[in-house]
Structure 1
Amino acid sequence: MKAAKDKRHHIDSGTAASVLKRVIAENGKDHVRGYIFAILCLVAMSLSTAFTAWIMESVVNEAFANKRADIVWWICGSIFLAFLLRGFATYGQAVTLSKIGNNIVARYQQRIYRHLMALSVGFFAEKRSAQLAAQLNQNISGIRDVLNLTVTSTARDLLTLIALIAVMVSKDWVLSLIVFAVAPPLLYALRYVSRRLRAATRESVEVNSQVLGAMQETIQGITVVKAFTMEDELNRKVNRIIDTAERRSNRIARLSERTSPLTETFAGLAISSVVAYAAFRSIYDNIPPGAFFAFVAALLMAYDPARRLAKMQVQIERAVVNARMIYDLLDMQPHQREKPGAKDLVVKDARVELQGVTFSYANGGPILQGVDIVAEGGKTTALVGQSGAGKSTIINLIPRFYDPTEGRILIDGQDIADVTRQSLRRQLAYVSQQPYLFEGSIRDNIRYGRPDATDQEVEEAARLAYAHDFILTQPMGYETPVGENGMTLSGGQRQRLSIARALVRNAPILLLDEATSALDNESEAAVQKALDTAMRGRTVIVIAHRLSTVVKADKIIVMHEGRVVEEGTHDVLAQRKDGLYARLNNLQSPEKRI
């Protein structure tokens, strides 16, 4: 049992050391000059502090005992210069370390964002986005704190403590031994506290991220919350999480501040012992008090850096936990990796083919089972079927949001698993059931389809999507901000902007995932006209709940429970009396959906 416990502590210590080593390796080189300047400032602070304690002997003996007025001016001038130097050094190191820390935070924010963009859709499907964002917000400062705490504690507090100890030893080595006698028990107690704090800090970060995540989700879904009168239930849920977070934070506070009574107790014991020893020597041995005053001054000045160093391990542990959680994310490898030597996709006819495709999500049953589909180039292929048939999964597999468990997907005979994802997705345009608009103007959101599109091309795409007229009615036209996820626009308007974004991309393959299912009849009519324009001359794979929107498709593929059960045109399939499509067609009226 003891061996296992010791091994666990060794592993934990190694983890903290490895994180610190990695942080320094990744950031130290880029900020060498800044850290050197900050360290020089911290050294100046340490030496000026030690000088102030050292000169106390001359103050007491020469000014008060010997009453030498000629030396007083030199003593006072040197003390003033020491404080002046310390003031400028404090300013210099604080500004420099803040600048370095801010740069480190910015760089890791950029790095994490790039890494998140490289992770697969599956990662985000398994993570709550609001909680992930909240957790990253808390963890990102860990990298900065690890470096700054290490520099300030080493260059300022440790050097100051060493310099003051040197003053203490030079003044009275016996008194110094009395002080050092209480140090080992204090260090052991602090090490015990820091080990317990490590696990509590990680738990606190996770719980606090749940609190922030729950609040963010409530804000984003406030209309649903109010529509379903969910306020009381969500209040109870969030209050439970907040209570848990409060208990975790209180536990961390108890552990973190446990260093205060420890250090104060040991400091009180040391100082009272020193005063007693020095007082009796002055009373019975008639020793001048100058050295004692200098020693006490050094001892009292050493208390603050010693206290900060005592807390440093606790603070480092908290920073390392946050940094470790950041590195856990950065070290996460994307599930979908490019094959060595992957080439760019070359599209001529834009023929899409699925050969024996089988797929299942993680920890789930099969969604697709041996699916064979051919979408001819330049034609429209519609996927229909009841919910859960696997239609949307096919749409998700073509851009490689996920990879098939078995089988292949070919575009013009090229296996999409053998080409780069960027080249594949550049040949695709995508319109989802729920169009997503990003922060920025209407023009910006359309141009996301092709960043190098000119203003004329953006406006032409809007005209083809039947969006130009309503855009001009907005307060600032194309420069009108869309609000969070386009909430200032109607569903039909957002969808037409999404179609304009697909049109400006000018890709040969168009994927439509139930692009009109959430719209009213009037909006659907406008969006359908835009879709008819978008589909001309392209290979289109479209999912539709309303069969009336796909009656003109060149091919309709009917799916059921992950399999293709029927295939043909609307006229052919509608005449099969025992067919699934015919049954769905008979059930459906213009107002109904399957």
Structure 2
Amino acid sequence: MSSPSASRRSPFARPSDDGPRATFRQLLPYLFEHKAPLVAALVLGVLGAAASLAQPLLVSQVIQLVEHSQPLGWLVWALVALVVASALISGYQHYLLQRMGEGVVLSSRRTLIARMLHLPIAQFDARRTGDLVSRVGSDTTLLRAVLTQGLVEAIGGSVTFVGALIAMLIIDPVLLGLTAAVIAASIVVVGALAGRIRVASARTQQKVGDLTAALERAIGSVRTIRASGATTREIEAVQTEAVGAWRMGVNVAKISALVVPVAGVAMQASFLVVLGVGGFRVANGNLEIADLVAFILFLFMMIMPLGQAFGAISATNLALGALGRIQEIVGLESETEKDAAIAVSLSDDRTAAADAPAIAFQSVSFSYPDAVARAHREDDAEQADPLTGATSRVPEGPTEGVRDGVVLRNVSFDVERGTRTALVGPSGAGKSTILGLIERFYDVTGGSIRIGGVDIRSLDRDDLRSRIGYVEQDAPVLAGSIRDNLLLASPTASAQECIDVLHAVNLGDVLERNPLGLDAPVGEDGIMLSGGERQRLAIARSILAAPPILLLDESTSSLDGVNEQKMREAIDAVAENRTLIVIAHRLSTVVDSDRIVVLDSGRVIGTGTHSELVQEVPLYRDLAKHQLLV
């Protein structure tokens, strides 16, 4: 009987393709960032080649002197010196290449991290976190192979190859012709394998990304998985991805392994041809024994860099497969690049109109990009529930309205300066999307949003966000300490300011229960705090930054009655002279708002005060009745 996971498609599976491709030209900038060690390694390679090429010549002279019973003199010492020098040069070159390889990995990771964390939010909604992490960890590591597995050594070895080739031509052109024929055949075979290695490598890295995404999902939801009794099924799902990555890795190994015997066969065949034909020519008196020995030594010196070249071809194609995935992210347009040509700053007093509303929505419509909507439709289909088989409602956020494509339709309302506006409505109405649009996580697809009379699409995103405090619905807490979380938006805040804001949101007991105080760890995703404490810490983080605009998405949903009241008092205190937009399902927390905007299915169906809406908007009246407010 098949396992449960075997009958269903993995939620991490992706369409089969060869993945993004990279060219060798795209690899060069990473190498040229380290010009000094690169040049030094090449120079050492040339010196090492010269020391190696001189050795057969000295050996030939030694044999001739021995044949004629003449003293060897300085030749032995010169030969020993060349061997020692060649070894020292090789060792130092290896160190330079290893260090340079680590430098290439570091620079590629820094470039990728900087680009990744500046990508538009749409990219994170459409891609899997584990796959992005894999590109930074696994894919960048493969770039090291370009340097440490033969590329630069092969370039230096080309000097040895050419020098040996010339020496062999001088010694005996006939033997060289036979040797060249064998080597040419091996080069043709390796060239045919190179393309297959690159394609297989790209597919392998994709599977490693799938595995990382699967593992990240399982670890991130480990408590839900355990509570649902789904641990075995999740293990099987992740192991399926591990097997897939293993199979692709074995496929790469099979193709790469063909390169090794090709080089070995070329070397052995060349040696046997030279030994047989060369021995025959020595017997006929057409070649001296000393010249044959020198020719054989040069043959080995020519074969060695050839083997390095074959290894370099394999390593480079592996790296280019990984580089394609890296360049796919690096090539994406970042938020800052998108805004660079048009962005202005709100810090210019002439930018905003003094009498304009703090925030104005003017006939705003919004649809998520196709890639995001498609990704979430696939999530709905694949994960209708991988644990229980049940289908849950579409949560607010990137999945709002994706089934018909439109999330907001012709939304218009104003938020006056220094007032409190509440957004209410059923789940999926578009409330959280409105806050995301104000933060410019996405840009509207119709209409406009204005702050101080200025279209936010013309504003610098960093400047815009520095004036907005945003507390998300899930109240994320970063791994680290309490202090780390508070200083995220206010890096210059003092310890006393941090303590004061914690007491303001009723988190003083968190400081008291750990002797480390502000430096007490909160655990991964704030697991060492309760849900309410995580939410209050997120609110404290925004309050500490003291922005002129505060966006609170279900900011008291995880609080009990006592803490909710204290939180409302803290928000009331900080709300003075600030503009607030609050989302809440519990109408009791927003009934005293200056204005309430009621949304349903992405449309505004009413605005006004609590008493006005109870009289005029049936949906709001029903919500109030259910919560015993009328």
| Fold conserved between structures, TM > 0.5 | yes
Structure 1 residue identity aligned to 2:40: F
User: What residue is the counterpart of 1:317 in the other structure?
Assistant: 317
Matched, 1:441 2:481: yes
The secondary structure found in structure 2 opposite 1:181 is: helix
1:402-443 deviation digits (Å, cap 9, x = unpaired): 111111111121111111111111110011121222233211
CA distance in structure 2 between the partners assigned to 1:281 and 1:147 by the alignment? 42
1:31 and 2:9 correspond: no
Q: Distance in 2 between matches of 1:353 and 1:139?
A: 45
* Match status 1:583 vs 2:622: yes
**Larger displacement relative to structure 2 (127-136 or 148-157):** 148-157
Structure 1 match to 2:57 = 54
Aligned mates of 1:157, 1:221 — CA distance in 2 = 52
Q: Say which SS state the counterpart of residue 285 (structure 1) adopts.
A: coil
Shift of residue 357, structure 1, vs aligned partner? 0.5
Q: List aligned pairs for 1:176-195, cutoff 5 A.
A: 176-195=176-195
Residue 20 (structure 1) aligns with: 24
CA contact (8 A) 2:60 2:294 kept: yes
Query: Does the 8 Å CA contact 1:54/1:167 hold for their aligned counterparts?
Result: no
Distance 2:167 2:561 in 1: 87
**Amino acid aligned to 1:488:** M
Note if 1:229 corresponds to 2:229.
Answer: yes
- Which piece of structure 1 moves more, 154-163 or 181-190? 154-163
Match of 2:343 in 1: 342
Which residue pairs with 2:207 in the alignment?
Answer: 207
1:278 partner amino acid: G
1:151-550 matches, within 5 Å, as: 152-285=152-285, 288-334=288-334, 337-338=338-339, 340-346=341-347, 351-363=358-370, 364=402, 365-521=405-561, 523-550=563-590
CA contact (8 A) 1:496 1:530 kept: no
- CA deviation profile, 1:380-406 (whole Å, cap 9, x unmatched): 111111011111110110011111111
- TM-fit CA distance, 1:460: 2.7
**Letter of the aligned partner of 2:341 in structure 1?**
P
1:242: how far off?
A: 2.1
Residue 232 of structure 2: SS of its match in structure 1?
helix
Cα distance in structure 1, aligned partners of 2:359 and 2:198: 53
- Alignment match, 2:44: 41
1:386–1:560 CA contact under 8 A, matched in 2: yes
Q: Deviations over 1:299-318 (max 9, x none)?
A: 22332221121232222122
One-letter code of the match for 2:249? S
Alignment-mate amino acid for residue 218 of structure 1:
A
Q: Give runs of aligned pairs for residues 38-117 of structure 1, distance below 5 A.
A: 38-63=41-66, 65-68=67-70, 70-71=71-72, 73-117=73-117
SS of 1:140's equivalent in the other structure is: helix
Cα pair 1:53 1:298 within 8 Å, conserved: yes
For the 8 Å contact 1:20–1:146, the answer to whether it is kept is no
Sort the Cα spacing of 1:465 and 1:175 in 2 relative to 1 into closer, same or farther, 3 A. same
- Seen in structure 2, the aligned counterparts of structure 1 residues 20 and 148 have a Cα distance that, compared at 3 Å, is farther
Report if aligned partners of 1:146, 1:320 keep a CA contact under 8 Å in 2.
no
Amino acid at match of 1:296: I
Looking at structure 1, the residues matched to 237 and 342 of structure 2 have their Cα atoms a distance apart, in angstroms, of 50
Stretches of structure 1 that go unaligned for 5 or more consecutive residues are 1-11
| Matched-pair identity in % | 29
For residues 313-359 of structure 1, what are the alpha-carbon distances to aligned partners after superposition, in whole Å with 9 as ceiling and x for unaligned? 22212212222221221111147822734321256687111010011
The separation in 1 between residues aligned to 2:270 and 2:122, in whole angstroms, is: 60
Counterpart residue number, 1:3: none
**How far 1:549 moved relative to its partner?**
1.3
Report how far residue 561 of structure 1 moved. Answer: 0.7
Paired letter, 2:68: N
Task: Report the Cα distance in structure 1 between the residues aligned to 2:172 and 2:566, rounded to whole angstroms.
Answer: 92
Counterpart residue type for residue 264 of structure 2: E
2:105–2:144 contact (8 Å) kept in structure 1: yes
Q: CA deviation at 1:126?
A: 0.5
**SS of equivalent to 2:50:** helix
Distance 1:125 1:278, change over 3 A: same
Q: Aligned residue for 2:14?
A: none
Alignment deviations for residues 81-124 of structure 1 (CA, whole Å, 9 cap, x no partner): 11221222123222222333323322222222221232111110
Q: Answer 1 or 2: which has greater helix percent.
A: 1
Question: Residues 27 and 320 of structure 2 are in contact (CA less than 8 Å); yes or no, is this contact kept in structure 1?
Answer: no
Tell me the distance in 1 between the aligned counterparts of 2:31 and 2:294.
41
Please report how far the alpha carbon of residue 201 of structure 1 lies from its aligned counterpart in structure 2 after TM superposition: 1.2
Question: Does 50-59 or 439-448 show the bigger shift?
Answer: 50-59
Which stretches in structure 2 are left out of the alignment for 5+ residues?
1-17, 371-401
Distance in 1 separating the partners of 2:469 and 2:321: 42
| Equivalent position of 2:381 in the other structure | none
**What SS class does the counterpart of residue 305 from structure 1 fall into?**
helix
Q: In the alignment, residue 374 of structure 1 is paired with which amino acid?
A: D
CA contact (8 A) 2:429 2:600 kept: yes
